[in-house]
């Protein structure tokens, strides 16, 4: 049973090695970069939409506060003139407006948190995308793997001769 498992693992490893050689890493990397760019664009579009919604809510909040102030002035006039029925109607409108203000304020707070989280996520995605682009540039400018190995480890005959003379000189001095 152990022999079969080992053979299976060796076969799987060989298949994966063949697939890795067939797949072109630069093409896969470019595809991953395109996907990341698309995802970042969608995220930035969502951030922009949330920012517009937040600005709309901020404007609405200011208007609701102005209406509440106006209703307070109307209440003052109603009580100054002793018109309790009208004061009740204005008070009802003020209470409804205050509830609306509370709802708008809660929505603004929730939206602000979501907007901050989305901006942070976009910044992180942008950094990851930059890293991927740098890796792609390195891959594009680096020589192929096999020729890099040969050029990194190949030793010229002149280098061998110089090293030989240095070693002989060291030993002659000792």
Query: What is the secondary structure of the chain as a DSSP string?
Result: -HHHHHHHHHHHHHHHHHHHHHS-HHHHHHHHHHHHHHHHHHHHHHHHHHHHHHHHHHHHHHHHHHHHHHHHHHHHHHHHTT-HHHHHHHHHHHHHHHHHHHHHHHHHHHHHHHHHHHHHHHHHHHHHHHHHHHHHHHHHHSPPHHHHHHHHH---HHHHHHHHHHHHHHHHH-
pLDDT in tens, the chain (174 residues): 676 777 677 667 766 666 556 656 677 778 888 999 999 999 999 999 999 999 999 999 999 999 999 999 999 999 999 999 999 999 999 999 999 999 999 999 999 999 999 999 999 999 998 888 888 887 777 655 554 444 556 778 888 888 888 898 888 887
- Position 93 scores a pLDDT of 97
- Position 148 scores a pLDDT of 47
pLDDT in tens, 55-80: 999 999 999 999 999 999 999 999 99
- Position 155 scores a pLDDT of 78
pLDDT in tens, 7-26: 677 667 766 666 556 656 67
- Model-level pTM? 0.60
């Amino acid at each position: 049973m152990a022999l079969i498992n080992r053979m299976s693992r060796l076969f799987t490893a060989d298949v994966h090695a063949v697939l890795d050689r067939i797949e072109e890493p630069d093409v896969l990397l470019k595809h991953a970069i395109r996907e990341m760019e698309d995802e970042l664009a969608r995220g930035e579009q969502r951030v922009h939409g949330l920012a517009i919604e937040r600005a709309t809510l901020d404007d609405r909040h200011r208007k609701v506060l102005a209406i509440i102030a106006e209703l307070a002035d109307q209440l003052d006039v109603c009580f100054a003139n002793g018109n309790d029925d009208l004061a009740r109607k204005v008070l009802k409108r003020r209470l409804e407006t205050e509830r609306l203000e509370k709802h708008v304020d809660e929505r603004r707070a929730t939206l602000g948190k979501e907007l901050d989280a989305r901006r942070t996520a976009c910044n992180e995605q942008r950094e990851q995308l930059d890293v991927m682009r740098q890796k792609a540039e390195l891959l594009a400018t680096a020589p192929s793997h096999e020729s890099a190995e040969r050029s990194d480890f190949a030793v010229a005959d002149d280098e061998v001769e110089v090293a030989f003379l240095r070693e002989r000189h060291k030993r002659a001095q000792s």
